[in-house]
Amino acid sequence: MIIAIDGPAAAGKGTLARRLAKHLNFAYLDSGSLYRAVALNLIISGQDENNEDGVIAASKNIEPSLLEDPRLRDEATGHLASKVASNKIVRENLLHFQQNFAANPPNGEAGAIVDGRDIGTVVCPEADLKLFVTATADERAKRRQLELEQKGIAANHENILSDIQARDKMDSERATSPLVQAEDAILLDTTNLNAEKAFQAALGLIKPANLV
């Protein structure tokens, strides 16, 4: 059983996917963390997106410890992740891991929830249920700002908003696996929903698919 959750940056996909996975006893994969790990690999070795060989090498060598590194969540890492994610070979290198996780969830779980940008369209086009989770850019920026402030990091709304808009543009306009709602995905707009209401709304969408 596979649930694909796609949507733009800071739309609440991760929070929702984690809650659903816990509720359903499914395994959860945050595919964005893989692209962030490629970016962090580059940052650690002092490289940037302009050295294509370095970018490709960084996508072949993702140590599991990198996925636990707190720097993975930095805004700079997310921004660079969005740049390296437009590379076709990087995407190919990460595809097999994601597909294998979805088809064979670890620890014998009955299903997998994978969130990202292209899960319903490219990684798991055969998913049993596809959600496209979104919210206005302004609302997403407010949430990201709150999240940063809760971590004690000073955050400026306008800067966050422009970064989110830049990432939306890069993710939606790239040639390979752009961010797009799959034809058979259900749209969940969380602009006016808190995390609890978004969870309840998603459960309501999952039930008719006989997943619960």
Alpha carbon distance 202, 211 (integer Å): 12
Asked whether position 9 contacts ligand C5P by CB under 6 A, the answer is yes
Q: Using CB under 6 A as the criterion, what x/- string covers residues 104-123 for binding ligand C5P?
A: ------------xxxx----
Residues whose CB is less than 8 angstroms from the CB of residue 120 and which lie 6 or more positions away in sequence, other chains included: 4, 6, 127, 130, 132, 181, 182, 184, 185
What is the per-residue binding string for ligand C5P in 55-94, x denoting contact by CB under 6 A? Answer: -----------------------x--xx--x---------
The residues, any chain, with a CB within 8 Å of residue 113's CB and separated by 6 or more, are 2, 3, 5, 17, 20, 21, 24, 26, 27, 28, 29
Q: Out of 167, 186, 188, 211, point to the residue binding ligand C5P (CB under 6 A).
A: 167
Binding residue (CB under 6 A) for ligand C5P from 19, 36, 143, 144: 36
Cβ-proximal residues to 124 (8 Å cutoff; 6+ apart), any chain: 2, 4, 98, 99, 102, 114
CB of 116 to ligand C5P, least distance (A): 2
Instruction: For the CB of residue 169, give the shortest distance to ligand C5P in the complex, in Å.
Output: 11
- Does the protein bind ligand C5P through residue 143 (CB under 6 A)? no
Query: Which residues bind to ligand C5P, rule: CB under 6 A?
Result: 9, 31-32, 35-36, 78, 81-82, 85, 116-119, 167, 171
